[in-house]
Amino acid sequence: MAAPVFNTNTDSMPPNPDLQKERENASFNVKELTHILDGGPEKTRRRKELEKLILSDPAFSSKDLLYLNRSEEYENAALRSVRLVEWSKKYQWSEEDFATAAQQINNSAEAITLHKDMFIPALERLTSEEQKAKWLPLALNYKIIGTYAQTELGHGTNLRNLETTATFDPSTDEFVLNTPKITSMKWWPGSLGKSSNHAVVLAQLIINGKGYGLQPFMVQLRSLEDHMPLPGISLGVIGPKMAVNYNDNGFLILSKVRIPRENMLMGNAMVTRDGQFKQLKSDKSNYSTMMYVRVLITRWSYGVLAASAMTAIRYSAVRRQLYIDPKGGEVQILDYQTQQYKLFPAVATAFAMFFTSQKMLADYYRVLPSLIKGDKELLAEYHSLTSALKAICSDYATDHIDVLRKSLGGHGFMMSAAIPRFMLSALTLVTVEGDNTVLYQQTARYLLKQVALAASQGKLTGSASYLGQNLDNVRQIETPEDCRDIHLLLQVYQKMSQRILIRAGGLLQADLMEGKPEYEAWIKHQVTLVNAAKAFSLMHLVRCNVEALDELRQSASSELVLVLHRLCCLFALYYLDLNSGMFMQVGAISPDQLDTIKAVEMQLLSEIRPDAVALADSPDIPDECHKSVLGCYDGNVYERMYAAALADPMNKTQVHPSYHKYLRGITKSISSKL
| Number of CB atoms found within 10 A of residue 130's CB | 10
The partner residues of 390 in beta bridges, in order of sequence, read: none
Distance CA 128, CA 266 (A): 5
Cβ pair 544, 359 in contact under 8 A: yes
HEC string of 92-114 equals CCCHHHHHHHHHHCCCCCCCCHH
Cβ pair 639, 417 in contact under 8 A: no
Which backbone phi and psi does 255 adopt, to 5 degrees?
-120, 100
- The verdict on whether residue 151 carries a ligand-binding annotation is yes
Q: How far apart are the first and last CA of the chain?
A: 32
For β-strands 269-271 and 277-279, DSSP reports them as antiparallel
The secondary structure element, H or E, covering residue 166 is: strand 165-169
Cα 93 from chain centre? 24
Residue 595 amino acid letter: D
User: Which one of the listed residues 22, 110, 381, 433 is annotated catalytic?
Assistant: 433
* C-alpha R_g of the chain: 27
- The verdict on whether residue 179 carries a ligand-binding annotation is no
Q: CA nearest 189: which of 148, 220, 157, 130?
A: 148
SS3 30: helix
Question: What's the farthest any 2 CA atoms get from each other in the chain?
Answer: 92
Cβ pair 315, 362 in contact under 8 A: no
Distance CA 250, CA 515 (A): 46
Cβ pair 185, 151 in contact under 8 A: no
Cβ pair 123, 135 in contact under 8 A: yes
Distance CA 88, CA 110 (A): 14
Give yes or no: 51 in active site: no
What are the residue numbers of the active site? 433
Binding residues for FAD are 151, 190
Binding residues are 151, 190
